[in-house]
Amino acid sequence: MSTPHASADSQSTGTTEPAQSSGTAKPGAAKEVRAEAERRRTFAVISHPDAGKSTLTEALALHAKVISEAGAVHGKAGRKSTVSDWMEMEKARGISVSSTALQFNYTRSDVAGTDDEVVNVVNLVDTPGHSDFSEDTYRVLTAVDAAVMLIDAAKGLEPQTLKLFQVCRHRGIPVVTVINKWDRPGRTPLELLDEIDERIGLMPTPLFWPVGIAGDFRGLLRRGEDGDAAEYIKFTRTAGGAKIAPEEHLSPAEALALEGDTWVEAAEESELLSSNGQDHDQELFLAGQTSPVIFASAMLNFGVRQILDTLVTLAPPPRARLAIDETAREVDDPFSAVVFKVQAGMDTAHRDRLAFMRVVSGVFERGMVVTHAQTGKPFATKYALTVFGRERSTVENAYPGDVVGLVNATALAPGHTLYIDKKVEFPPIPSFAPEHFAILRAESASKYKQFRKAVDQLDSEGVVQILRNDVRGDASPVMAAVGPMQFEVVAARMKAEYNVDPKIEHLGYSLARRTDAASADELNRQRGVEVFTRSDGVLLALVSDKWRLQYILKELPELTLEPLVAATD
């Protein structure tokens, strides 16, 4: 991208003059696009809540020198919230409930200042940690090329981590594992590796091994190609972890003299890993069979540079993407992109709506007119932005892997495709099956116009699914959500952005099934069942519980009651 967020000491991305409006029309454009795509690394951080995901996101930005000081853990007295958490609810609770995008330049530390220096453009998409927002995280995972799986050193693999890993496996996304919070008491490193291998069938292949047990994090042993101890990276703490932790690189002999038995134990464990075949193999990593492992403390900024170096070295650049018709859209084909998120209210000074698109192929130029695949209509891209948390700056051009925010793109929704020249449409993003349902009303009838506008906005963003039927009417739509915290987000945003006090009344349904018009009347006559129309026109039957559903399936087998497709099916 021509203007990624960067501080004064960051390096230029080195982009060239914009291509012609066809996206690859000028001479040599295809070669330029391939070269620019090769520099991109687009990834997401996934984890269970409270594993340190947003803290790590900010630590990565700190090491890339795009912020001068880390905000540390949000929600703690006297400390800032992280740059990736912009919603007041996130700052107050210390959790991420919405995905956001950060873009910055990074040069691998071991080549900086040399003739081999390559400036990588990093597109980091921070994701919600709470399980109630799994659907938002899944949308992000349709837009990235790799993922960082963050694990708490004391807790190991947790339910949300397991669920998101399965999504990565389903989509063929390579995973780099980071075992975080090594500065606190936790489990043994070998125990954690065994759990990863046994529970998810992913062979962990550590690139760096901790020197010192959990709670006594002294530094990292960098493993050589055969698992030997190549060097010792010793870290020094900074006040509150607000600055980059100084590193000292020592030879194995110097490490032995300094750390004694602690170094010996780390070196012996590294050799044991090699005897078990747990050395990095790039082909197996890209095939999703192994995962490079790094031990770190995002709070102290220990091991963070090693994570960035690993990502730009080993994570794959943007690749071809399959369209609905199974044809591959190569990175040097004419421009195409997929919308993976829509978000409004990111800045009270800009009451606009951003549609985040991931560039799949070709060159994006601000102002180019593209085709919206779902409607076949032209779409102008005059207002295009790159975002850094809540901050924004104008984008002139972008390449495969880049994330661009299109302003006031009211026609766009998650899963939509934009393209020029050769027609393409990428597969839609499936919706999760909702399990929680509530009626939404405006407390004051005088605010009904603002209420309707807010409902339509939040529905189009995918914050919740909005269901309607003739009995309840437009004044009482029903919200369908994966988790109840989504309802809290709706209430908070309606109040903050539209000055509407909503009234939420929970309904006694727990299941949703796809149905059809021929079955709707009979289903509406059944006790514990109500049929609604979703905004996309799909008919959903809400059922009180699984026993009621089983009864209807047995007694009325002619009715249509189909399970909603899960995101990993």
Across 268-293, b (16+ Cβ under 10 Å) vs e yields ebbeebbeeebbbeeeebeebebbbb
9 CB-contact burial (10 Å; exposed 0-12 / middle 13-18 / buried 19+): exposed
Report residue 541: phi and psi, to 5°: -100, 120
Q: Which of 369, 368, 457, 377 is nearest to 410 (CA)?
A: 457
With residue 492 as reference, give the H or E element that holds it: helix 485-498
8 Å CB contact between 338 and 358: yes
**Is residue 204 a known part of a binding site?**
no
**129 appears as a binding residue in the annotation:** yes
Is 428 marked within a binding site? no
Residue 483 known to bind ligand: no
Could you tell me if residue 155 is left (phi over 0), alpha (psi between -120 and 50 degrees) or otherwise beta? alpha
d(CA 235, CA 188): 20
At 354 the three-state DSSP class reads strand
Residue 389 labelled as part of a binding site: no
Count Cβ atoms below 10 Å from residue 296 Cβ, excluding itself.
Answer: 29
- Give the relative orientation of helices 159-171 and 134-141 as an angle to the nearest 10 degrees: 30
Structure tokens at 288: 């999703």
Amino acid found at 148: V
Which of 14, 139, 61 minimizes the C-alpha distance to 399?
A: 14
Owner of token pair 């696009």? 33
Residue whose C-alpha is closest to residue 193's, from 294, 266, 112: 294
| Contact in structure between 357 and 390 (CB atoms under 8 Å) | no
Q: Are 61 and 72 in contact (CB under 8 A)?
A: no
Helix (H) or strand (E) holding 209: strand 208-211
3-class DSSP state for residue 218? Answer: coil
Q: Residue 172: which residues within 8 A CB-CB, separation 6 or more?
A: 288
CA distance 440 to 204: 47
Residue 555 CB neighbours (<10 A): 9
- Please enumerate, by residue number, every residue annotated as part of a binding site: 126-130
- Please enumerate, by residue number, every residue annotated as part of a binding site for GTP: 126-130
